[in-house]
Structure 1
Amino acid sequence: MPLALVAMRCIPGPKPSATAGALAERVRAFERFETAGSIWADWDNPFDPEQVRLDGEFRAPDGSTLAMPGFYTRDFRRALVGDFEQLAPRPQPHWRVRMTPTQPGTWEWRWVVTTPAGTATTEWTAFEVEPAAPDRHGFLRRSPRDGRYLAWDDGTPYVAIGENLAWYDGRGTYAYDDWIPKLAAQGVNYVRLWMPSWAFGIEQDALGDYTNRLDRAWQLDHVLALAERHGIAVMLCIQNHGPFSLEANSEWESNPYNAANGGPLAAPADFFTDPAARALFERRLRYLVARWGYATHLLAWELWNEVDLVATGPAVEAWHADMARLLRVLDPYDHLVTTSLARGNASPLWSLPELDLVQIHHYAFPLAYDIPSTIAQRLRLQRNAHPGKPQLLGEHGADYRGPAETLALDPESIGFHHGNWIGLVGGGFGAGMTWWWDDLIDPEDLYFRFAPLARFVAGVAFDAQDFTAIRPAVAADGRNLAAYALRGESVVLAWVQNADHQWSLDPLPGPDPEEVLGAALTLTGLADGAWTARWIDTRTGADVAVEPVAFSGGTVVLAVPIFREDIALRFER
């Protein structure tokens, strides 16, 4: 149905009515199928399902059914004027339903519109679904083979390599047109987006009414589709801390939830218990699922960024459990659900069965920590406290204060490099995810640092290895070395570090360019037989040395090639 024919009118009447059509009558499995149309009914707020509610109903070829909420929207035209994006609304707002068919064959769909005056349905209409394209693997899940790792529906393993890409600069969506291809060219398959007031946030000007933020939703449409085309999965953070925090990046004074601005909350922490605030967030979740729940490359819904900067305690935990359960009801594709914290390791939140993923955020400043050993310990503590749950170093950086401060203390981006690697070999389901994407990674052109990680893990089925995170012994005369590894049934992934090569916060020694010669790495607990040792340059991804190794007794001592800062080993049989 051409979009030029799609319109909406709001008129009073005793009963709603609707017309709708498919944007395509034939799609492939695991690709988006979309319908658009008009609803005639009486409402004040099209985002309030108590006033007007659209649901799409679908019949699959095997007889199963699927329901997907619909949403109100409008399209926009974009233009880049100077270095700034300008958006112009297209003429007609309208309604849509999006879904992803999961099997080939003949499907059927219809709309169901519900208002206080009654219910209207469209006729059942057929559409054809062809077999999935070779690069379509379904949705991301906790792997049934090893729940600490992720896999696609068809069993294809997934290891996250990427960074935070939370919001745009003045270029709006054009910034992502620049960043995402650069990342994809280096093997990146993960980014994290936020929905803040200054970017993709849909609730800012009027609580529960997203009319004036439909341009932001359209922007997020563009970016999610762009990421999917480049094979990049997205963690979508729904609520950032600032609007409700009194201690960090506070926007509470301008927050429409604030009673001083006519909102329902006397204090930020009331967000978790106030019935009106909870109902508004539930409405927002419905809209998010309706608009983006179809996405196969949506890795997870992240309920909060660093919620402990707002509040902690039983009310916060109960809120998370309730909202995660609601997402299970709303989202027919059962995307993963998580949240994040700014501080520490111990939180009852991570014990909630409703939360699928554990996240760690780590910024070293103002403490002069060795970044790899500190993060490795934090990952180990979480792993021991919540065995069987996937974990991710979701944010990291040498300095939380800003890119200028980070470069002043770490001009060689050693902390960035260390965090990326330890996130992976420390036991995460992916590498560490750096911050400062727009003011450091891009202007310093550090994208090349992702490619060696992507090559290091290529073809390794993490969920089939029963990996154990270990600290192998490594030594060289007169040198301070450290090693971290994942030991599996047929693969060992190891990272050997010159522990004196550091970022420059006193008393850390700073960069150490001296070559490391004569190092030996000892691996234990291995199956006897023939293995291959592939040593990899962590800056370029190139092979430094490849050699066959045979041993017995479960232990092998490997000569480490000459290196300076660090070197990686992929040991396979």
Structure 2
Amino acid sequence: MQSPVPHPSLPWIQVAPDAPYFITEDGQPWTPIGQNDAITWPELEGLFRRKNLPAVEEYLAYLSAHGVTCLRLMLEYAQGENRYFEKPVGKFAPNMVRLWDDLFALCAKYGLRILLTPFDTFWMWLRWKHHPYNKNLGGPCAGRGQWLLCPNTLEAIKARLTFVVERWGGSGVLFAWDLWNEMHPAHMGNSSAQFAPVATQLSQHVRDLEMRLYGRSHPQTVSIFGPILHTHPDVADTIFRHPLLDFSSTHFYDSKTIDYPKNTVDSAIKVGELVREALEHTPQNRPFFDSEHGPIHLFKDRKHTLAPEFDDEYFRHIQWAHMASGAAGGGMRWPNRHPHTLTPGMRVAQKHMARFLELIQWSTFRRRNLNQEIKVSEPSFAVFGCADDRQAVVWLLRTNALYQRKRLMNPAAPALTVEVQVPGLPDGRYRVTTFHTLAGTTLEQLEAQAQGTVCTFTLANVRTDVAVAIVKVS
């Protein structure tokens, strides 16, 4: 197959050497701001057979202009029959290869990167009887419960990864590998015993090939459907602490809040709890972020699409809870909307977060989660925060300002004054910058003093929420 047309290079992304965040190869801070996308969804469907490349380019330019830096994408999307990457196994579909050639070139043009996972395991599982890997169709695997146990299937998976590494692995557009989407005991005989060995196989295969071809390798993770940490707690060793993986990622779902939101506050509180739980598992210098979340039960099972006004606030609150609690970026929404697109309001929220990120030096930020340790004078605020010995991020979300049947925040709620105490900051002077998350603007800068390793300051006129960046003054 003909090699792809060369396109502008982007610096590769790597984990910061002394902080649980990401940097470019030339040392600039880089944060994954984005969402899950798919090659069959409205904004990218024009890639296939080059049906509408100008529309795809316009979409990617729009994302770049709104602070988006990263898309999470599956190499194929198995909900239908015409987007398989291989058919039959080992024969890579020319239309799909050209689709990815075009997408890599367009992403390079607009400075966007891709978190790439090789299989759409959700639809592959549900529509296994149609998938080319099915032995009944000439594939290597006798049953979906053997995907990650069958030696022939593992060899086919590695061959797919080899093709992708050789064709696109030299590009900085490839941010990182999600080596297997939502690895699950069901994929390996209903046992979690092979989690670590499979992760080792896939990781070593990709890294060894990249090192041989390019002299360096892209970051790696393996994702899981978050709730299986409660049914199979042993998988945490692989997902969070596997020595060959570079960062940790889980998918934030919770049946009572995130999956089926009744208001825009409870899901954010749950996200703060899930980030703290994840960071307790994760080594200090390893980045963590949620790479999939959204109102899946409401959309998939109840066939309901959230109203944009509600969904925008739900989205905005989740991303700030995620980032302020110590995860990298705002998390990656699975749209769970009809059609599968994010709203303009969500894009604005991403743009505003990108502005706030400029207030912190992430490449040296050795954060620890302080959601439970930060003290506030007003009990009507949920607290999300993280800090090291020079910087801190705090986000306060009011819990008693819901209106419209107690679903949305009331922007006209009476303003409150709240004193904040952030522990663990060495004595000295700090610059405190407050940020309006809805408007995307800095509110004020003030100076605070830390005494007895507690930095104390007072915020006035807080109606719904406020984000705070705290930096030690030299």
TM (norm. structure 1) is 0.69
| Cα separation, partners in 2 of 1:259 and 1:194, compared to 1, 3 Å | same
- Looking at structure 1, the residues matched to 90 and 350 of structure 2 have their Cα atoms a distance apart, in angstroms, of 40
- Looking at structure 2, the residues matched to 434 and 251 of structure 1 have their Cα atoms a distance apart, in angstroms, of 24
Alignment counterpart, residue 39 of structure 2, candidates 154, 167, 171: 167
Higher RCO (CA 8 Å, separation ≥ 6 residues): 2
Bigger Cα Rg: 1
| Corresponding letter in the other structure for 1:359 | S
| Corresponding letter in the other structure for 2:353 | L
| Corresponding letter in the other structure for 2:391 | V
| Cα separation, partners in 2 of 1:144 and 1:443, compared to 1, 3 Å | closer
Shift of 1:100: 9.8
Shift of 1:552: 3.4
Who is 1:465 aligned against?
365
- Looking at structure 2, the residues matched to 437 and 225 of structure 1 have their Cα atoms a distance apart, in angstroms, of 28
Q: Mapping of 1:328-367 within 5 angstroms?
A: 328-332=207-211, 333-344=216-227, 345=229, 346=233, 347=235, 348-350=237-239, 351-367=241-257
Identity level (%) = 21
| Cα separation, partners in 2 of 1:521 and 1:459, compared to 1, 3 Å | closer
Give CA deviations for 1:433-467 in whole Å, capped at 9, x if unaligned: 11218736544543111122111111532231322
Who is 2:144 aligned against?
268
| Corresponding letter in the other structure for 1:240 | D
> Across the two proteins, how many residue pairs are aligned to each other?
434
User: Greater helix percent: which structure?
Assistant: 2
Who is 1:278 aligned against?
154
Asked if structure 2 preserves the Cα contact closer than 8 Å seen for 1:501 and 1:510, the reply is no
User: Greater strand percent: which structure?
Assistant: 1
| Cα separation, partners in 2 of 1:323 and 1:158, compared to 1, 3 Å | same
Who is 1:524 aligned against?
423
Q: Mapping of 1:63-78 within 5 angstroms?
A: 72=1
- Looking at structure 1, the residues matched to 83 and 245 of structure 2 have their Cα atoms a distance apart, in angstroms, of 23
Shift of 1:287: 0.5
Asked if structure 1 preserves the Cα contact closer than 8 Å seen for 2:366 and 2:388, the reply is yes
TM (norm. structure 2) is 0.83
SS at match of 1:151: strand
| Cα separation, partners in 2 of 1:534 and 1:443, compared to 1, 3 Å | closer
Asked if structure 2 preserves the Cα contact closer than 8 Å seen for 1:365 and 1:399, the reply is no
| Cα separation, partners in 2 of 1:206 and 1:434, compared to 1, 3 Å | same
Asked if structure 2 preserves the Cα contact closer than 8 Å seen for 1:448 and 1:540, the reply is no
Asked if structure 2 preserves the Cα contact closer than 8 Å seen for 1:301 and 1:336, the reply is yes
- Looking at structure 2, the residues matched to 275 and 357 of structure 1 have their Cα atoms a distance apart, in angstroms, of 27
Q: Mapping of 1:304-343 within 5 angstroms?
A: 304-308=180-184, 310-311=187-188, 312-332=191-211, 333-343=216-226
Who is 2:293 aligned against?
396
Q: Mapping of 1:415-454 within 5 angstroms?
A: 415-436=314-335, 439=339, 441-454=341-354
Q: Mapping of 1:116-515 within 5 angstroms?
A: 138-146=11-19, 148-169=20-41, 171-173=45-47, 174=53, 176-197=56-77, 203-210=85-92, 213-245=93-125, 250-308=126-184, 310-311=187-188, 312-332=191-211, 333-344=216-227, 345=229, 346=233, 347=235, 348-350=237-239, 351-367=241-257, 370-388=266-284, 389-402=286-299, 405-407=304-306, 411-436=310-335, 439=339, 441-458=341-358, 460-471=360-371, 472-476=374-378, 480-500=380-400, 509-513=406-410, 514-515=413-414
- Looking at structure 2, the residues matched to 362 and 322 of structure 1 have their Cα atoms a distance apart, in angstroms, of 26
| Corresponding letter in the other structure for 1:455 | R
Q: Does 1:556 align with 2:438?
A: no
| Cα separation, partners in 2 of 1:323 and 1:387, compared to 1, 3 Å | same
SS at match of 2:409: coil
Structure 2 spans left out of the alignment, 5+ residues: 48-52
Structure 1 spans left out of the alignment, 5+ residues: 1-71, 73-93, 102-135
| Corresponding letter in the other structure for 1:522 | Q
Give CA deviations for 1:359-409 in whole Å, capped at 9, x if unaligned: 121134445772233222222222222313221111122344538635059
| Cα separation, partners in 2 of 1:215 and 1:437, compared to 1, 3 Å | farther
